[in-house]
Every structure is written in structure tokens, then in C-alpha cells.
Amino acid sequence: MLTANEIKRKVGEQAAELVQPGMTVGIGTGSTAYWLVMALGEKVRQGLDIRCVPTSRETAKLASEQQIPLIALNDAAVIDITIDGADEIDPQGQLIKGGGGALLQEKMVAAASRQLVIIADHTKLVKQLGVFPLPVEVIPFGWKQVQRHIEALYSIKSILRTKDDQPLVTDHGHYILDCHFNQIADAPALNIALNTIPGVVDNGLFIKMATCTIIGYPDGSVKESGVD
Ligand SMILES: O=C(CO)[C@H](O)[C@H](O)COP(=O)(O)O
């Protein structure tokens, strides 16, 4: 039986095989995407000609340590493929992302990509989204007002994400409210509704964005499926 980290490594390495010479590649954030970056680094050092758009400062740092050429999203006319992790994946390929706090940049890079390949271990598969608290990125100004608004609208609790007893500040200077929906019956509607609340920058629902999932299992098997 493989450990969780071995499964992440396996799916990361399998996804790296999808990357062809000349491609512009969006590279995800998190402990699964870590293995993708390591595998791409190995290929780049062996001569693979690619350029990558990182989805966070953390990934940018890791990728440059691996000598992977990076470009800014502004300088990428099109991204051929983005490969990233997820916190929950439902049967329609809808996702919750942002457990690592990079949801805004991840969503922008994914939106600019021809394909979004999601790599994960089987524990991320769910029947319905919502047990994983949905990250909602908000501007720091008046964040408590936004929190009250969301909590009242949906009768839920939310928690301001912190680091070292201080509000966690995202790469783009925002805060994150982790919203405990438990069950999200209509993810597309919630995605739109949350983003219309003044002060909300974006949320971790990725709807109709993933084009393929690569899921690893403890027995070493890997299932690659297209998303309709
Ligand atoms: O959305 C993310 C970061 O913002 C990650 O992709 C997500 O949290 C999954 O991370 P991991 O692969 O470590 O489980």
C-alpha cells in the first residue's frame, strides 16, 4: 500500500508526462503540485523546453529552485495546460480549492488555460462539495461586515484563516474566510452569489474549469478521466 505522499508523487509524475516541448504550463500549489514541479524540474534540466506560470509565490520559489523558466500571467498569450491539486472533487468535476490559500491566482491561471488537469489522491473525491470549508477571499477593509453578510445569508459559520495568531494575508494582500457549508447543493449558483457580495474577491469553487482528473489510490492504481 502506498502512503499518501507516495500517491501524490505518483499522480504528480504522471501529470508531468502530459507536458510537451514548447508548452506554456500553469503550475499549481500544494503538496500534490509539489511533485509535479519536481518532475517538471527534472525534465527541464534534461532539456525540456517549456515556460511556466506559477499559481503562488510558494510555487514560484520552488519552481525557480528547480530551474524551471517562469513567466508572468500577463506575458502568457495562452496557457496550454495547467496542472493543480484540489481539496474536494465532485462527480461533475466541480472543485473546492484554496486550502493552501492560493485560490485567486489558481483560478486566474486556470481560467486562462486550455486544459485544467487536477491531480489528487482518492480522499479528495466527494459525492457533494462542502465538507471541506469553502475558502472565500475578502479584502481586509470591513472583512467582519462581509463575514456577517455571508453567515446571515447562508446560516453558516465561517472562520478567519490565521497564521501565527494573525490573519493570514494572501499573496495578493487579502484575508480568507473558511466557510463551513457542510453541503453545497448548487455550487454554480453559490459561486456566482458569493462573488457578488461587496468585499469578496473570489471563492474556492471551480465550476466547469477542470478538463481532466488524475486520481491516485493506495493500491498504486491511477485513474485518469476526462470531465464533460
Ligand atoms: O488549492 C490549493 C492551494 O490553494 C491546493 O491545490 C489544494 O489545497 C490541495 O492541496 P494538496 O495537494 O496539498 O492537498
In this structure, the residue with its CA closest to atom 8 of ligand 1 is 99
Is residue 25 domain-shared with residue 104, that is, in the same domain? yes
**pLDDT over threshold 90, residue 13:** yes
- Ligand 1 surroundings by CB, under 6 angstroms: 28-32, 84-87, 97-103, 106
pLDDT interval class at 228 (50, 70, 90): confident
One domain, residues 164 and 69: no
Please state the ipTM of this predicted complex. 0.98
Among candidate residues 197, 151, 196, 199, the one with its CA nearest the CA of residue 178: 151
Structural domains of the chain, count: 2
106 is a catalytic site residue: yes
Residue from 55, 97, 214 to probe ligand 1 pocket by mutation (most atoms less than 8 Å from CB): 97
Closest ligand 1 atom to 119 CA: 12
Mean pLDDT of the chain: 98
Calculate the dihedral angle through the C-alpha atoms of 140, 174, 124, 90, rounding to the nearest 10 degrees. 80
Q: Is the dihedral angle over the CA atoms 161, 30, 190, 187 positive or is it negative? A: negative
- For residue 217, being part of any structural domain is answered with yes
Answer yes or no: is 127 within a domain. Answer: no
> Are 19 and 111 within one domain?
yes
Residue 137 has pLDDT above 90, yes or no: yes
CATH number of the domain that 191 lies in? 3.30.70.260
pLDDT reading at 182 higher than 90: yes
What confidence category does residue 45 fall into, taking pLDDT thresholds of 50, 70 and 90?
Answer: very high
> Does 87 carry a binding-site annotation?
yes
* Alpha carbon nearest to ligand 1 atom 6, residue: 85
For residue 206, pLDDT over 90 is answered with yes
Question: Do 116 and 216 have their domain in common?
Answer: yes
Residues 213, 140 within the same domain: no
* Sign of the torsion formed by the C-alpha atoms of 17, 3, 66 and 116: positive
Domain interval for residue 166:
134-201
Q: Pick the catalytic residue: 106, 137, 151, 224?
A: 106
Distance CA 221, CA 161 (A): 35
Do residues 103 and 181 share a domain?
A: no
Kindly state the percentage of the chain with pLDDT values over 70: 100
Cα(first)–Cα(last) distance of the chain, in Å?
A: 31
Closest Cα to atom 12 of ligand 1: 32
CATH of the domain at 60: 3.40.50.1360
| Together in a domain, 184 and 222 | no
